[in-house]
Structure 1
Amino acid sequence: MSDAEIPRAAVRLARRRFLTVTGAATALAFATNLPDRARAAGSGGTLAGDPFTLGVASGDPLPDAVVIWTRLAPLPYEPLGGMPYTAATVEWQVATDERFRHVVRSGKAAARPEFSYSVHVDVRGLQPGRTYWYRFRAAGHLSPAGRTRTAPAPGAKVDRLTFAVASCQSWPDGYYTAHRHLAAENADAVLFVGDYIYEYGISASGGLRNTAQPVPDQFRTEADTLDRYRLQYALYKSDPDLRAAHQNTPWICTWDDHEVQDNYAGLVSRTNAPIEDFTVRRASAYRAYWEHMPLRTPAPQGPDYLLYRRLTFGRLAEVNVLDTRQYRADQADGDLWKPDNPERNNPARPFAGAQQRRWLLDGMRRSRATWNLLANQVVMSRMDLDASGTATYNMDAWDGYTAEQRSVLDGLAALRARNPVVVTGDVHASYAMDIKRDFADPDSQTIGVELVGTSISSGGNGVEVSANGRNFLDHNPHLKLVDERRGYVLVELTPRELRAHYRAVPYIDRPGAPVATVRSFTVEAGDPGLHRA
């Protein structure tokens, strides 16, 4: 992952923490969550059916490389996907045409049981700024063909880029219709900014999906072990619209909380479980996340994984992928929405952490790209709910960690000429915001913009604007849009301007909803601030 500019000091720190603090507990987790070798090998080595039930994906495009991914799972709701407990050989091809008449790269990869038969091939030697197709073959079965695209060459003049911003896809909350429309946008990349799965148990009916076939019994309990997280990913990836979105566009992914547990913070669980127990759970969740995402090797080192990274798209854009969950202190004042309080303003409480903060601001300072995007989990701008007449803030967002929030915003103010654009998820609503130097003064300088995308499905059908949404509009003059239906944001970049199209579907409790643009905004390069398009 060095090409994506990941700091080596952080790798050493993560490894040292794993070995000295929690290595024994994590090793035990992985020793006890795999099936017995002899018993698994006794299945004979033949596959029970098509191993490509979870589809294909690509991600983290570089100018000369892209990661292609699949996972062998002929029986996805069984342990290890129904595979015999032995390594399997997977062939792969990358071509310049969708019929694979012109194969430019090919090879073999090992799908190993310890990584749930996932395959992560870092395909090198590709041409910059070019569309490719890829596929896999295993045990006589051929996967669907995926479409991907490399990043433009370093320093290349780029006339246009399109990114889709998506997040929050609770499977039982409804259908992934938005993903079907997102797949048809033919974006250069999808920025998925968290909550790929939700850890909660799932009813037999599948919640709002009201499935014709009962959801298997093993999904009733909350995901908290390696096997159970793997099952959750398998169920989510069973959705054909999600598979289509992966199959058609490379993804740049980061996590938020539900990939482990709702509102966890560092090694503090929501339920204040013993740290040894939660460390094992986090290690299992991180392992399962890596197994199911198109990410480069190496895999997570126990409970630690260096996820923040930077990808460059010629002279037009850089994407800074943040991780605001792994390094943070526990939320202030017991979490949730609370009035101002001393703990919220305690400068000793980390959020992204000093090392990541330096990496972000130093990298943006060196950037020569016209647009600098921050793929970010939770709302960075100030958001005052104020429903009771007292300023009220979300303790789980940047507002709950004001010292680090102020440090990053001051840094962005100094880098205003770099055109910072924060893209965010988490809140199941579309927000469009000017980032102000002083949020208490609506006339203060605008230093950038924050584009908050709504959920793909979390929260059900949604509404146009709820009572809380109206409160936000009333008490946050920098906020230009609230819409609480499901969808995504399409961000179009040129050297002159950014165009943000907020796309939404009217319902997700049944398939087939159309998509429409709720609102569009423009931002001029060199002049931060949102304008109605």
Structure 2
Amino acid sequence: MISRRSLFAGGVGLGMSAVLGVPPARAAARRAPLPDPFRLGVASGEPTPDGVVLWTRLAVDPIALDGLGGMPDRAVPVQWQLATDENFRHVVRRGAETARRDEAHSVHVELGGLRPGAEYFYRFRAEGELSPVGRTLTAPAPGVRSRALNLSFTSCADYQAGWFTPYRRMAEDQPDLIAFLGDYIYEYGDYKYPVRDQAGGECLDLAGYRLRHAQHKADPESQLAHAIAPWVVVWDDHDIENGWAGDVPEQPGPPFLRRRAEAFQAYYENMPLRRAQKPDGSALRLHRSIRWGAVANLHLLDTRQYRDLYACTGRSGTVGPGCQERFAPNRTILGQEQEAWLDGELRRSEATWDLLGQQVFLMEMDWTNGEGKGYSNEGWDGYVASRNRLTAAIDAYRRNAVVLTGDVHSHWAGEIKRDHQDPESRPVAVELVTTSVTSAGNGLDEYPNTQVLLDENPHVKFFNGRRGYVRTRISRQEMKVDFRSLSRVTEPYAPAYTSGSFVIEPGRPTPNPA
């Protein structure tokens, strides 16, 4: 991306006021300027055919322990521009927002009235400083089938565990859309032997969550990925607390609903979300759909906020075949309202593909090697009836469904059966699981028990245990999938390589090796 210094090297003589159309008298009357307030970069998200969200958050000291980025106790005017070229010779929209202290000086600009399927560039100005330039796109118009979707997705970015090189490699692909599928931050305190030192201890309050988000956004690799394309995000457990389920925390501590409300507030402040996702105390509706013409609908799911408590043990873990609670017909991982919403989205869909962006393994997985069986009660194996209702809907509405999953810090591809309890059941969807950005360290391509797991779960077709992301190209004819892996993240700038490639065809719910 072109830096703000080089971008304006030839036109600084006009002055910052003229560049952004601010009246000189107003600019001269402002307070003494702050140091560079754009140390958290810029981002965009939530594309529609006529709009997108532009985001920034002002901070002069990203790791200030109060979580407020070293900003003064006052509102700060922020101007923005949107152009059709990265040199901003053709500015098509401009405006101003106010960054307020009670929202950690974050800015969410919701734009409408833009051209469908178009590329735009944007920037901000505050306190006499210009932000980096971001690139964004609007979605194709409804009914357009000729525009493919280049979608990349990943999850699980633990600052202490490694360098965010996968973000850089993802940005180098220049995707149309990036989906982040949970654990954008980790709430943990300090590790004994971290790869990188994080600021602050365990996130327990609003200041702690704001600080952790700010340190992630200040990372240069993170800034590259956020500036290259619009993002859509959903959370998992570590965005709030490890292993939380509905209103129940994993461990005793601060009143959980208060902690959840403060984590939700920081999440909204630091993500390019719409006002529709602004939290109401400890509630935030995160499930929604992103439509890419008639090629794909991306349905983003929340498997944390509305789920029933973990089957048999009350805590996340592995349970044996004797755990009958996981089959209870009224158990749900999505909650009744979200289940009904998703059923309606699938029933009404006219896109070639329906993508489900979510957090935890959906296909059945026996994690016990050899004799006996063991299932994670944290994934959909702990909510079998909920899974069967979803697979029944996919089957009944004849959708080409592909589930995009995070959480497990490794790459997987496999088939989702109509009913995993029936040996004769046929596949109705494909699941693609992305590895982590850094969580769990470097990993390995294969582990000693990899082949055993694959043999005991024949519907699973691929595994890779390195860090990285998944790159896809989705058209009416096919969905091409590349699992991108890095040999290391404990040192920066490792190259990415393709550890597995697959093609999925409409009407054939299986990942075929490319």
Does the 8 A contact of 1:58 with 1:69 survive in 2?
yes
Q: TM-score, normalised by structure 1?
A: 0.87
Specify the alignment match of 2:12 in structure 1: none
Specify the alignment match of 1:256 in structure 2: 236
Find out whether 1:492 has 2:473 as its counterpart.
Answer: yes
1:418 aligned counterpart, secondary structure:
coil
Compute the displacement of 1:84 (Å).
Answer: 1.1
After TM superposition, the structure 1 = structure 2 runs for residues 311-390 of structure 1, keeping only pairs within 5 Å, are: 311-332=290-311, 333=313, 334-340=315-321, 341-387=323-369, 389-390=371-372
Deviations 1:105-146 (A, max 9, x none): 110001011100000000111100010000000010100000
Partner Cα separation in structure 2 for residue 158 and residue 308 of structure 1 = 27
1:513 aligned counterpart, secondary structure:
coil
Specify the alignment match of 1:309 in structure 2: 288
Specify the alignment match of 1:228 in structure 2: 208
Does the 8 A contact of 2:391 with 2:419 survive in 1?
no
After TM superposition, the structure 1 = structure 2 runs for residues 179-258 of structure 1, keeping only pairs within 5 Å, are: 179-202=167-190, 207-209=194-196, 215-216=198-199, 219=200, 221-258=201-238
- In structure 2, which of residues 372, 375, 385 is the aligned counterpart of residue 403 of structure 1? 385
Percent identity over paired residues: 44
Residue identity opposite 1:263 in structure 2: G
1:208 aligned counterpart, secondary structure:
coil
- In structure 1, which of residues 137, 142, 146 is the aligned counterpart of residue 130 of structure 2? 142
- In structure 1, which of residues 273, 280, 283 is the aligned counterpart of residue 258 of structure 2? 280
2:195 aligned counterpart, secondary structure:
helix
- In structure 2, which of residues 268, 287, 298 is the aligned counterpart of residue 290 of structure 1? 268
Q: Calculate the aligned-residue CA RMSD, in Å.
A: 1.6
Deviations 1:179-224 (A, max 9, x none): 101001111100111000000113597x123x6xxx54xx1x2101
Deviations 1:507-532 (A, max 9, x none): 11111101111111111112221111
Compute the displacement of 1:249 (Å).
Answer: 0.9
Structure 1 residues 468 and 346, CA gap change in structure 2 (3 angstroms): farther
Partner Cα separation in structure 2 for residue 362 and residue 284 of structure 1 = 31
Compute the displacement of 1:440 (Å).
Answer: 4.8
Q: TM-score, normalised by structure 2?
A: 0.90
Choose between structure 1 and 2: higher helix proportion.
1
Partner Cα separation in structure 1 for residue 346 and residue 181 of structure 2 = 19
Compute the displacement of 1:75 (Å).
Answer: 1.2
1:528 aligned counterpart, secondary structure:
strand
Compute the displacement of 1:474 (Å).
Answer: 2.1
Paired residues in the alignment total 479
- 5+ residue gaps, structure 1, are 1-43
Compute the displacement of 1:159 (Å).
Answer: 3.7
Residue identity opposite 1:146 in structure 2: G
Specify the alignment match of 1:29 in structure 2: none
Residue identity opposite 2:244 in structure 1: Y
Compute the displacement of 1:386 (Å).
Answer: 2.1
Does the 8 A contact of 1:74 with 1:82 survive in 2?
yes
Specify the alignment match of 1:473 in structure 2: 454
After TM superposition, the structure 1 = structure 2 runs for residues 92-171 of structure 1, keeping only pairs within 5 Å, are: 92-171=80-159
Specify the alignment match of 1:435 in structure 2: 416
Partner Cα separation in structure 2 for residue 467 and residue 172 of structure 1 = 26
Does the 8 A contact of 2:181 with 2:234 survive in 1?
yes
Does the 8 A contact of 1:47 with 1:83 survive in 2?
no
Find out whether 1:64 has 2:50 as its counterpart.
Answer: yes
Residue identity opposite 1:264 in structure 2: W
Does the 8 A contact of 1:386 with 1:471 survive in 2?
no
Structure 1 residues 81 and 528, CA gap change in structure 2 (3 angstroms): same
Partner Cα separation in structure 2 for residue 159 and residue 231 of structure 1 = 39
Compute the displacement of 1:273 (Å).
Answer: 4.7
Runs of 4+ in 1 over 4 A off after TM superposition: 44-48, 440-443
Does the 8 A contact of 1:374 with 1:423 survive in 2?
yes
